[in-house]
Amino acid sequence: MADETRKIAFICSKGDLDMAYPALVMGWAALGNGIDVTIFFTFWGLDLVTKKRQDHLEISPIGNTSMKMSMMGLPTGNLGIPNWMAALPGMTAFTTWFMKKKIAEVGAPPVSEYLQMLVDGGAKLYGCKMTVDMMGLTKDDLVDGVIDIVTASDFMDMTEGAQIVFI
Amino acid sequence: MTEKTAEAILESVEFNEDGYMVDPNAWTPQIAEAIARQEGIAELTEDHWKIIEFCRQRASESGAAPTLRQITSGTGISTKELFSLFPKGPAKKVAKIAGLGKPEGCV
């Protein structure tokens, strides 16, 4: 057992900016620790590997109860961004810009660069067949790091014995 | 360096339970070679040393072993090269061979 390489597989199903990072951060940590990494991108998670989308992921303040105004340095304690304000034009662009700034401040790269690091470190990326069909995409629409477009059943086969993390 | 000499060198070195050297100041290039051998790297090349020296330098300034991204951006060695120089877990391997603690930071 000790000689067997530990395997971990992430299922990325969300395309929001904040939901893109957990698999990137944990996958990168896993590679650094010698763990075999596979990532399956499904539904909105496919945006992470779609050329036109991956550097345009957003985070909306609408319905986001975690995003507090105090994050922006305002002395407002637990007060969230009021919903009437969150619905104003430009608010999603603002919160996206802000979150990208916070991410860059801790030295984490943008999604495209992060994914390339994972590929270079040996992570295996796969796109979901059903999502690709549903969205009318082809493999050409996905970044080069994606090895193949596979079915859910293929993913089950290739991750036998792996720990699976659903995001 | 043979397996035996490596073992003999490491006998006098103190490691913590995770396998990192307890005292980074007790580190020598010879110890690095011996740890590398144990980690499955038979010989340390010029690029290995470039990385090790960078990590020691960084740690002496900040007190912590650098992360992989700090190593690639600081040395100009690509992620691909880094993973092929220190296969199967460069984050841990580099820090161990450089006589430092576990890297602090996630990227």
pLDDT tens digits, one per residue of A54-75? 999 999 999 888 888 888 888 8
A41 and A9 in a single domain? The answer is yes
A62 and A27 in a single domain? The answer is no
Token output for B92: 């841990």
- Ordered alpha helix ranges (H), chain A: 17-32, 83-86, 91-105, 111-120, 129-135, 152-158
A115 and A102 in a single domain? The answer is no
User: Could B106 and A29 be called an inter-chain contact, meaning their C-beta atoms sit closer than 8 Å?
Assistant: yes
CATH no. for residue A20? 3.40.1260.10
DSSP A28-46: HHHHHTT-EEEEEE-GGGG
Half-sphere exposure of B36 (CA within 13 A, CB side): 22
pLDDT averaged over every residue in chain B: 91
Q: How far is A25 from chain B (nearest CA, A)?
A: 7
User: Could A120 and B79 be called an inter-chain contact, meaning their C-beta atoms sit closer than 8 Å?
Assistant: yes
User: Could B69 and A117 be called an inter-chain contact, meaning their C-beta atoms sit closer than 8 Å?
Assistant: yes
Among candidate residues B2, B12, B80, B106, the one labeled active-site is B106
For the question of residue B106 being annotated catalytic, the response is yes
pLDDT of A72 reads 84
A127 and A141 in a single domain? The answer is yes
Question: What are the Cα distances from residue A137, in Å, to A15, A110, A133?
Answer: 16, 23, 6
A1 and A81 in a single domain? The answer is no
pLDDT of A1 reads 44
CB contacts < 8 A, A to B, total 47
A121 and A165 in a single domain? The answer is yes
pLDDT tens digits, one per residue of B29-76? 999 999 999 999 999 999 999 999 999 999 999 888 999 999 999 999
Residue B96: partners with Cβ closer than 8 Å, 6 or more residues away: B19, B20, B21, B35, B39
A42 and A68 in a single domain? The answer is no
pLDDT tens digits, one per residue of A76-130? 888 888 888 899 999 999 999 999 999 999 889 999 999 999 999 999 999 999 9
pLDDT of B11 reads 87
A41 and A64 in a single domain? The answer is no
How confident is the model over A28-34, as a mean pLDDT? 95
Domain count, chain A: 2
* ipTM summary value: 0.87
- Print the domain residue range for A118: 1-51+110-167
Token output for A83: 């919903």
